[in-house]
Amino acid sequence: MKKIKTRDRILDTSLALFNCVGEPNVTTLLISDELEISPGNLYYHFKSKGDIVEELFGRFEAEMLDLLAVPEDADISLDQNGFFLHLMFETVARYRFLYQDLVNVLSRYDRLQARFKRLLKKKTAAFRVICESFRRQGMLEIDEEELESLCEQLTLTACYWSSFDTLSHLEDRESVDPGRGVYQMMHLVLPYLAPGEQDEVRLMSRDYL
């Protein structure tokens, strides 16, 4: 079995702790204790907790940018959209510490602000590409003003769903269900879909509850 490098162990353990108790409540001493390594060993790899946060954000950013690269000329099906949303919420769940205290995290790590704003714009653009595909295929009827508002609402829900979902089980932050987020996102689009597609979404939604 391949031995996991200390640097990767630090990142994995930090991520688990950040997600479990919240990033502000985790110190480098707690991380080194959890890993059973000396603070000096941790410092050899990361000079501060901020360096760990930035490295984890880089991982999250790479995964999300890859996911959000939706082909503009593709005929996207409702099933594919559901799969896309599920992957997106699974990625958010893996790095949920970023979203559960988003404003405070970004205010303390200001170098991440522009990068996160770029992700928000990419999300809105991806949702628009998907909706445009639905409209082009005759599956969705919506005017330009409503489409812009819908894409912003989808971005808003995707951004803050993790915080909202956590409120229902504060005693167990590990209890995460991406399916409920997918359900909410699909139902935001539902009123604009053609009757046949609305029925399909209602059937699909049962799998996410």
CATH classification at residue 189? 1.10.357.10
Catalogue the long-range contacts made by 11-19 (C-beta closer than 8 Å, 24 or more residues apart).
Answer: 11/52, 11/55, 11/56, 11/59, 14/49, 14/52, 14/56, 15/56, 15/94, 15/95, 15/97, 18/53, 18/56, 18/97, 19/95, 19/96, 19/97, 19/173, 19/174
**How confident is residue 171, by pLDDT bands cut at 50, 70 and 90?**
low
Which of the two residues, 175 and 125, has the higher pLDDT score? Answer: 125
Average pLDDT over residues 86-98: 93
Q: Which domain holds residue 67?
A: 53-208
Q: Are residues 128 and 187 in the same domain?
A: yes
Looking at the 3D structure of the chain, how many domains does it have? 2
pLDDT at position 175 over 70: no
Model pTM score: 0.89
Q: Are residues 68 and 27 in the same domain?
A: no
pLDDT in tens, 46-83: 999 999 999 999 999 999 999 999 999 999 999 999 99
Q: Are residues 57 and 134 in the same domain?
A: yes
pLDDT at position 200 over 60: yes
Q: Are residues 59 and 116 in the same domain?
A: yes
